[in-house]
Chains A and B, each alone.
Chain A
Amino acid sequence: MSGLHDLPAWAALAIAFLLLLGSGLTLLGTIGLVRFKTFYERVHAPTLGTTGGAGAILIASMLCFSVLQSRPVLHELLITVFVTVTTPVTLMLLARAAIYRDRTEKADSVDTLVGDRGVNDGEHSARR
């Protein structure tokens, strides 16, 4: 754990803050994942990690290495971009799949699929 000792205090503290912020947000997101009652609510949870959480930690990382190497280290930006672009793909596909599955099971219109009603009546086996 060499390098870290070379960090100036301001950077160390900033990094520490960002790290705690980022991981805290991520944790909150996943707590939401646990706590929220329906799938459609849970869909929102991981984005906390991919936006706020990832953002903070990536900034921390950029800061850390830029200071350590005394040059701008920006490649974390790429992660930011990739995460921002790729996470929605999964979530979109997933949310739509969930809608489909609920519809075929309830034969209902979308608009009834609101709130706690109608979703997830504890079918315990994943289908195929």
Chain B
Amino acid sequence: MADDTSLILMVGLPFAGSFLAAILPTNARNMAAGLAGAVALICLCLAIILYPAVAGDGAVHNRVEWIPSLDLNFTLRMDGFAWMFALLVSAIALLVVLYARYYMSPDDPVPRFFSFFLAFMGSMLGIVLSGNLILLVVFWEMTSIFSFLLIGYWHHNAGARDGARMALTITGIGGLGLLVGVLLIGHIVGSYDLDRVLSSGELIRSHPLYVPTLCFLLLGALTKSAQFPFHFWLPNAMAAPTPVSAFLHSATMVKAGVFLMARFWPVLAGTEEWFWIVGLAGMCSFLLGSYFAIFQQDIKGLLAYSTISHLGLITMLLSLGSSLGAVAAIFHMMNHATFKASLFMAAGIIDHETGTRDMRRLSGLFRVMPFTATLAMVASAAMAGVPLLNGFLSKEMFFAETIETHVNSILDTAAPYAAFVGSAFAVAYSVRFIHGTFFGPPPTNLPHEPHEPPFWMRFPILLLVLACLVVGIIPGLTIGPFLHTAVVSVLGAATPEYSLSVWHGFNLPLLMSLGAFVAGVIFFLCLKNYLATSEEGPPYLRKVNGQRIFERIMVAISWRWARLLEGYLGTRRLQPQLRLVVVVALIAATWPIWMQGLALKPPSLAGADPAFVGIWAIAIVCAVTAAWQAKFHRLVSLMLLGVAGLVTCITFLWLSAPDLAVTQLLVEVVTTVLILLGLRWLPKRSAEIVPDSVPLMAKVRRYRDFAMAIAVGGGAMLVSYAIMTRTQPATIADYFIEKAYSEGGGKNVVNVILVDFRGFDTFGEITVLGIVALTVFALLRRFRPAPDSIESPEQQRIQNAHDDAQPDRKVGDTISDYLLVPALIMQWLFPVIIVFAAYLFVRGHDLPGGGFAAGVAMASAFILQYMAAGTIWVEDRLRVLPVRWIGLGILLAAVVGSGSWVFGYPFLTSHSQYVELPLIGAVPAASATLFDFGVFSLVLGATSLMLIAIAHQSIRRLRSARAAAAAEEEAA
């Protein structure tokens, strides 16, 4: 198999496996485990097969173009370091799968677990194998996501949910930081290709954006590796099933952070900023982690803090900027993975077999599970750094490095002391773990009766512990070459001389080790009794709970502050929104005028018709009064609005727009009726309910609104005046006037524009009308009047009561008397208006009028009948199917428009011609006329539909009352 294909397979297989596992049935436990194991095994084998290539050529590449224009490609790249990690990831994955097969309960949806697990594994492999930084970020965030799912696997447990969320939030923030950092690197280097970036160290370090880049990248790395001050998510992630912890917190997830730091070590390390930031974070994590670990009562908590501490150790090593430190760091990454994985698994066995992980309740388990205990003890020893185990070797290197001077500073001077103290703490918590769990009196009162777990559950631990031993005893023969390959791939030419051997002579590091060992044991002995009963967490610092602080901050920022800000910066009320729209538009219009100035012709009334001035004086007074009266005197306001409308119509007429005048007049009539129909359903409102004194704030608001209204009105006035008094540029209108008759076949240019030149606008516009009518209809189908409007209007009740009370009258006499004569006239006007509508329609193309005006006129004929005789009367006689008219109108217009297709012309190409009819003479036969008929049909339908739909509300109420009465009768 080609090497590059193997790379793809290594990343792809886990995802494929994940998908397969996801679709397995919930109870397919063994199949899921087998699948996961097989995938891990194949990955492991692939890694092993790839070793020669990696060791020989330095790196295996596979590049698949993804989005080349963004320099985002699916580039995989395996060098020694990546290989080491890939091996570690797949090997430990294999072991964890085996372990998990026994660990997971049949009640759990195990396939889902393995699905997440495999996806996580694939993401982790993706991180280590990415040859493109953006791709790395992709996988990086995917590990966050899948770890979230894995930690929250037992989501019925609130702790799991919170832990998962916190892990995701912290690592997600880190991931975003990493993204920004990577983007900055791309900005500096000009590429996201890892090879190019790795060879641009000098460029990056000398770039002005180096510090921000560094900070962002470290934000990613430190959060992922749970380094101070982002460490607190890790202990909470212990709510995950133990196999998850064993995998995530040994070889993967948290290792991704230090992996990244090591990966970028040649590019970023060696500066003072790097030293300080990384060093400080590492040292704090190292010390805090180990100190906190001592005081944990939960085994997994202890291991979690220990993980923080060990990763702090690695971080410290990387911070130093010395190549030997880097070697030690890489070495410790591997060592920590092996012993920590085994320890987590052991903790899981204890939990699984006893039902608890609380060291206060556990003791003397050595008696019941000696084999497991032995393994755990060896692994703990490795963790404590006991000689002949792998942990010892890297710790010695660590000591040796801390003693050296790197960047002369307090931090550097403090390093050896910190190393010593931290190691002593490590010994203390390791001893505590072993002592508290396996020794002491036999366990009592445990949830389960403890016993050894099945062999295959112990087996992974056994293998890992063996590895700890073998590496610890004969490092040079076992891990040596692989480590070297890894180191060389990171450090390249800067690879230092180092030796991997158990015995380096009796030197200061060894002395420190011994001292730390002794100090740690003594420290433990001092604390032993206290720890047996103490609360979780170290004394005094218990209250400083990172998790709680984080939660508080999160809740404050993401919830309380966000809501407050949402309230401050936004509104759910309509009026402020409208004010904003208006103000912003005002600013948008004022700004350019303000900046550039506006030259205005001096205002003058010369040339103005006095009558025109007069009617506008009326309109202005009426408009202002309409605005003023609209709250309490609705009818007055409506009438005044009508006056303003009438003056508008006359203005159109005066200024040479008879079509507009006719249309506006017709619309005016229909609108008035419409609003009157609506008024029936509005609450009574009279001035009496107004409190005498208006609160100050309301007054202020009113003045503000008033000022805004004046500003807007003044603006509109200025702008319209300015434009009206400027000479008009050459407009496209000239063309229309010239061609209206010769090509459009009509003399009324406006109408020709409407049905021909710009018929498409009309087509859209009538559709709007149709849509609105349908909406009105739909909304009224569900109309439910307010309780105080359900009754008949007061007038009708009084009149009916009056009729009822008079012996010679019956209910309804008043109305029939009232309408006796008017109704007759209105009825006889019906055909007259129809003829008038026909007139408007027919002459439209040559003179003012047209389909729209005709439609509205026709609709008023119907309305008049409804007004005269009532809904029921009319509908007994006329079948009004407005919805059909709407549909037919649109269809007709569209069909006429597309008729031109047949002749190969675009939509709406009109065909106009005067046809000689016998007896009649030349008749204009433009296809536009048919189009106009569609308009007519639609307008008629839409207008009637709206008015009738509202009118129907009155009789619907009657009908429902009648139905209710009938139902009552039936019941009685």
Contacts and interface: CB of A to CB of B under 8 A. Distances in A.
Interface string A90-128: 001100100010001000000000000000000011111
Interface in B627-644: 632-636
Interface of chain A: mostly helix, strand, loop or mixed: helix
A8 interface: no
A82 B833 CA distance: 10
A82 B632 CA distance: 35
Contacts of B798: 104
Nearest to A128: B684
B818 interface: yes
Nearest to A88: B825
B829 interface: yes
Interface string B783-797: 000000000010100
Contact of A85 (B686, B818, B829): B829
Judged by DSSP, the binding face of B is helix
A89 interface: yes
Contact of B821 (A92, A125, A128): A92
Interface in B771-814: 793, 795, 798-799, 814
B106 to A, nearest CB: 74
B825 A89 contact: yes
A85 B825 CA distance: 7
A86 B825 CA distance: 8
B679 A128 contact: yes
B826 interface: yes
Given A92-B821, A126-B634, A128-B634, A100 B795 contact: yes
B826 A89 contact: yes
Contacts of A128: 634-635, 679, 684, 793
B822 interface: yes
B508 to A, nearest CB: 100
A128 B789 CA distance: 12
A80 B821 CA distance: 20
Contacts of B633: 125-126
- Max chain A C-beta neighbours (<10 A), residue from B636, B822, B829: B822
Contacts of B793: 128
A126 B793 CA distance: 15
B2 interface: no
A126 B636 contact: yes
Contacts of A104: 795, 798
B881 interface: no
Nearest to A90: B822
B687 interface: yes
Contacts, number: 35
Contacts of B832: 82
Contact of B818 (A82, A86, A96, A125): A96
Given A100-B799, A104-B798, A125-B686, A89 B822 contact: yes
A104 B795 CA distance: 9
Interface in B736-766: none
Nearest to B818: A96
Contacts of A124: 687
Nearest to B682: A128
Contacts of B687: 124-125
Contacts of B825: 85-86, 88-89
B822 A92 contact: yes
Contacts of A88: 825
Nearest to A93: B822
A89 B825 CA distance: 7
B448 to A, nearest CB: 80
Given A100-B795, A100-B799, A126-B636, A86 B679 contact: no
B822 A125 contact: no
Nearest to B629: A126
Contacts of A96: 818
Contacts of A126: 633-636
Interface in B858-891: none
Nearest to A99: B818
A85 B633 CA distance: 30
A128 B637 CA distance: 11
Contacts of A82: 832
A92 to B, nearest CB: 6
B625 to A, nearest CB: 13
A82 B821 CA distance: 16
A96 B821 CA distance: 12
Nearest to A104: B798
Contacts of A93: 818, 822
Instruction: From A82, A88, A127, name the one whose CB has the most chain B CB atoms within 10 angstroms.
Output: A127
Interface string B179-208: 000000000000000000000000000000
Interface in B579-637: 632-636
Nearest to B820: A92
A93 B636 CA distance: 18
B111 to A, nearest CB: 70
Interface string A15-41: 000000000000000000000000000
A125 B632 contact: yes
Nearest to B819: A93
Nearest to B868: A89
A62 B818 CA distance: 36
Contacts of B795: 100, 104
Question: Counting chain B CB atoms within 10 Å of each CB, which of A92, A93, A126 scores highest?
Answer: A126
Interface in B813-857: 814, 818, 821-822, 825-826, 829, 832
A126 B636 CA distance: 7
Contacts of A92: 821-822
Interface in B78-125: none
Contacts of B799: 100
Contacts of B636: 126
A86 B828 CA distance: 11
A100 B803 CA distance: 13
Contacts of B829: 85-86
A86 B822 CA distance: 9
A89 B818 CA distance: 11
A126 B632 CA distance: 8
A82 B818 CA distance: 21
A126 B818 CA distance: 21
Contacts of B635: 126, 128
Contacts of A89: 822, 825-826
A60 B476 CA distance: 123
Interface string A46-78: 000000000000000000000000000000000
B847 to A, nearest CB: 12
Contacts of A86: 825, 829
Contacts of A100: 795, 799, 814
Output the residue of A88, A124, A128 with the most chain B CB within 10 A.
A128
10 contacts: A89-B825, A92-B821, A125-B632, A125-B687, A126-B633, A126-B634, A126-B635, A126-B636, A128-B635, A128-B684
Given A89-B825, A124-B687, A128-B684, 5 more contacts: A88-B825, A92-B821, A92-B822, A126-B635, A128-B679
Interface of B: 632-636, 679, 684, 686-687, 793, 795, 798-799, 814, 818, 821-822, 825-826, 829, 832
In the A-B complex, the 5 residue pairs with the smallest Cβ-Cβ separation, listed nearest first, are A126-B635, A89-B822, A126-B633, A126-B636, A89-B825
